């Protein structure tokens, strides 16, 4: 029997033939892909001809095409729809892929060819994009240890292999904790909960095979439960379970994994000649140094914690007025903050939510992309990997640009959070390859599915990442789409969130689920006026996580990360009633892989730019100004990693921004 993963896909738009793919096929396909990749690398390294850009760099870009295809399908499925078989395959693949990568960067003959081209770069007649790819390839090999020899080279290979195994284990432990825990609710426990929360809890109960409603650890369910449930003891139980993910003891406990990861990262950096892992990691980012990151975060922390402390006084008074003695706790904050928001802004989440239907918000994102960039979206009837997933063809002026897949609902087989990935990235080398872009979210199911305003922002955020992939227009896959500095990659996503705040967008798409009526102007005005409400809390929980991440990696690795986390939070004066957004044992951004390690700050670094970038539209005449949108596409969305991030932003805006726009956007510019 043929393996569909290894065939030329003759499906529409060369989509993976999901209806023919079985878990048992991934192992053989991966082995074949690795063999093909190794053969391609050997052919490049052993080529008797002198190195040229074509026979070395371009050949390297094309090597591993089968591996890219197989891994692109597998890892999307493993994250969005895990099975025991897929989890076992992840554990099996992690060391194999690490060994494959290390064998490439440790190939002395291959690196010699790359290094020769780098030394000769001024005489090669390369285009700007080719020069950029050569630079990035040489830098990547060097930072991966290609220049190391003997013990150092072998030890680095072992370290990277172990890190790959640990990252997979961390992710699977977290998924197991999130999947297994739920809290059954009696009918009396539903008191005070809005209809949308009750409906979500009943749907979650059905998904868990229960006879009644339950609260799970899905953010889209547990957060509104913490906002609305008057049952303090239930809020406490739910919050503590949420906060304890990854540290419940036993096989799924992540604390020892985190400690080992940090120690190995420090060793990796030392082997490569860096003072710390943060120094190594940040060298290639816009921030460049740990000092620059800390400076930004502290500029934001001080007004944020001042605002949070002032808010805590008001919420504590509300707690006491309810007859509860003692201090405000983390399971109290959202409940009393929601009450305060209703009192001060006449804004009720239960009143808002019917205006944010999932399908309407998808259409709103599509409409904004059409008005800004001329994109059209047509639903596709094609086999996909899960019944909840949906697909659209993306075109412009009749030309096919991409396939977009949206997978929006929470389920036990899906890891938590929201993300954008590409099953296939855009490139022109070797033929015009158009991307398959995937947005994954964890919204609560319902009929119809209703989103909170924060959920809607998440949808727009991930769609901003998708636009970065869809509109990519480069020759080389290694710099395609979101292949940019980590502290630049969040600019397109966070910038696109701003269009959800545009009144004409909400007037058109925020229509009541039952009546179809648009959101009343008075409610819309109150919603927009409350944009910075509770921003002290939101900023503190985020910046605390970013500073803990930085401290973990800026210096000697801590023997006990939980103790180190506590020391950082105490030094910051962390408010007792606010928890970190991501405590260490469930900090997947940092410990599931190297992506955001020393880099969780990047959302805020990008926010400095996104506030300034959206202001460019206002200065030019409005949120849909055509000339500004064209500049955004040309210099940011289509350019990928073809230039340094600061050069791309400066080309778009004419200058780099300061932190003032961020503080103003968060309402923290006037905090005493």
What percent of the chain stands above pLDDT 90?
95
Output the CA angle 533-539-541, nearest 5 degrees.
115
The reported pLDDT for the residue numbered 660 is 87
Instruction: Name residues of the chain where pLDDT drops below 50.
Output: none
Task: Report pLDDT digits (tens) over 632-661.
Answer: 999 999 999 999 999 999 999 999 998 888
pLDDT at 1: 65
- Is residue 87 within 8 A of residue 173, CB to CB? The reply is no
Q: For the domain with range 251-347+535-600, which CATH number is right: 3.40.718.10, 1.20.1250.20, 1.10.1370.10, 1.10.260.30?
A: 1.10.1370.10
Active site residue 149: no
122-173 per-position pLDDT tens digit? 999 999 999 999 999 999 999 999 999 999 999 999 999 999 999 999 999 9
Burial 120-140 (b: 16+ CB within 10 A, else e): eeeeeebeebbebbbebbbee
Topology match between the domains 251-347+535-600 and 354-529+603-665: yes
- Spatial neighbors of 72 by CB under 8 A, at least 6 apart, are 422, 423, 424, 436
Rg of the chain's alpha carbons, rounded to an integer? Answer: 25
Q: Out of 462, 490, 607, 633, pick the active-site residue.
A: 462
Sign of CA dihedral 254, 542, 415, 550: negative
- Ramachandran region, residue 281 (left: φ > 0; alpha: ψ -120 to 50; beta: rest): alpha
Q: What is the CATH number of domain 4-105+107-144?
A: 1.20.1050.40
136: tokens are 């990035």
pTM reported for the whole predicted model: 0.93
Query: Tokens 């096919």 map to which residue?
Result: 400
Please determine, looking at this structure, whether the domain spanning 354-529+603-665 carries the CATH number 3.30.230.70: no
Q: For 23-45, b where at least 16 C-beta lie within 10 A, e where not — what string?
A: eebbeebbebbbebbbebbeebb
Query: What's the confidence (pLDDT) of residue 349?
Result: 86
* Domain positions in the chain: 4-105+107-144, 181-245, 251-347+535-600, 354-529+603-665
- The predicted pLDDT at position 403 comes to 98
Q: What is the pLDDT of residue 672?
A: 58
- Residue 151 pLDDT: 96
């Amino acid at each position: 029997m043929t393996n569909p993963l290894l065939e030329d896909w003759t499906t529409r738009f060369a989509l993976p033939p999901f209806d023919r793919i079985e878990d048992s096929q991934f192992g053989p396909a991966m082995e074949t892909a690795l063999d093909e990749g190794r053969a391609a690398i050997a052919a490049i390294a052993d080529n008797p001809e002198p190195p040229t850009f074509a026979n070395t760099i371009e050949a390297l870009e094309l090597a591993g095409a089968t591996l890219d295809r197989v891994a692109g399908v597998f890892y999307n499925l493993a994250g969005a729809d895990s099975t025991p078989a897929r989890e076992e395959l992840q554990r099996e693949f992690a060391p194999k892929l690490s060994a494959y990568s290390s064998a490439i960067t440790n190939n002395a003959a291959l690196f010699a060819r790359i290094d020769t081209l780098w030394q000769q770069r001024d005489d090669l007649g390369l285009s700007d994009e080719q020069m950029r790819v050569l630079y990035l390839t040489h830098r990547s090999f060097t930072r991966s240890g290609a220049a190391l020899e003997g013990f150092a080279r072998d030890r680095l290979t072992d370290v990277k292999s172990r890190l790959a195994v640990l990252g997979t284990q961390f992710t699977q432990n977290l998924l197991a904790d999130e999947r297994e825990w739920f809290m059954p609710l009696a009918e009396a426990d539903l008191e005070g909960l809005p209809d949308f929360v009750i409906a979500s809890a009943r749907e979650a109960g059905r998904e868990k095979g229960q006879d009644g409603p339950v609260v799970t650890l899905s953010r889209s369910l547990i957060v509104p439960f913490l906002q609305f449930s008057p049952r303090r003891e239930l809020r406490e139980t739910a919050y503590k379970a949420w906060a304890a993910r990854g540290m419940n003891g036993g096989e799924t406990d992540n604390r020892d994994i985190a400690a080992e990861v940090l120690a190995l990262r420090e060793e990796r950096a030392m082997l490569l000649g860096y003072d710390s892992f943060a120094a190594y990691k940040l060298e290639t980012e816009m921030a460049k140094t740990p000092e620059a990151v800390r400076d930004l975060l502290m500029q934001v922390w001080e007004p944020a914690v001042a605002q949070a402390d002032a808010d805590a006084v008001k919420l504590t008074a509300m707690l006491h007025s309810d007859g509860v003695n003692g201090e405000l706790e983390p399971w109290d904050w959202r409940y009393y903050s929601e009450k305060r928001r209703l009192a001060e802004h006449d804004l009720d989440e239960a009143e808002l939510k019917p205006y944010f239907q999932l399908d309407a918000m998808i259409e709103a994102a599509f409409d904004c992309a059409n008005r800004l960039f001329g994109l059209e979206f047509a639903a596709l009837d094609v086999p996909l990997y899960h019944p909840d997933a949906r697909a659209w063809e993306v075109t412009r002026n009749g030309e096919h640009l991409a396939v977009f897949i949206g997978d929006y609902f929470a389920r036990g087989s899906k890891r938590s959070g929201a993300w954008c990935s590409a099953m296939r990235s855009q490139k022109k080398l070797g033929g015009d390859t158009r991307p398959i872009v995937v947005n994954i979210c964890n919204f609560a199911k319902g009929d119809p599915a209703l989103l909170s305003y924060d959920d809607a922002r998440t949808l727009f955020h991930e769609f901003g990442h998708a636009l970065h992939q869809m509109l990519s227009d480069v020759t080389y896959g290694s710099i395609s789409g979101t292949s940019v500095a980590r502290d630049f990659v969040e600019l397109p996503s966070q910038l696109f969130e701003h269009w959800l705040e545009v009144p004409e967008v909400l007037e058109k798409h925020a229509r009541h689920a039952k009546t179809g009526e648009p959101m009343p102007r008075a409610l819309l005005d109150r919603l927009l006026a409350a944009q910075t409400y509770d921003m002290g809390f939101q900023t503190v929980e985020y910046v605390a996580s970013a500073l803990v991440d930085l401290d973990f990696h800026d210096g000697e690795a801590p023997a006990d990360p939980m103790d180190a986390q506590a020391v950082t939070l105490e030094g910051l004066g962390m408010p007792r009633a606010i928890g970190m957004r991501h405590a260490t044992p469930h900090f997947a951004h940092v410990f599931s892989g190297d992506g955001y390690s020393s880099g969780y700050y990047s959302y805020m670094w990008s926010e400095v730019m996104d506030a300034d970038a959206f202001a460019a539209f206002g200065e030019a005449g409005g949120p849909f100004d055509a000339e500004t949108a064209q500049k955004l596409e040309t210099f940011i969305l289509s350019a990928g990693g073809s230039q340094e991030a600061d050069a791309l932003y400066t080309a778009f805006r004419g200058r780099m921004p300061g932190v003032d726009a961020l503080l103003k956007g968060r309402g923290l510019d006037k905090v005493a």
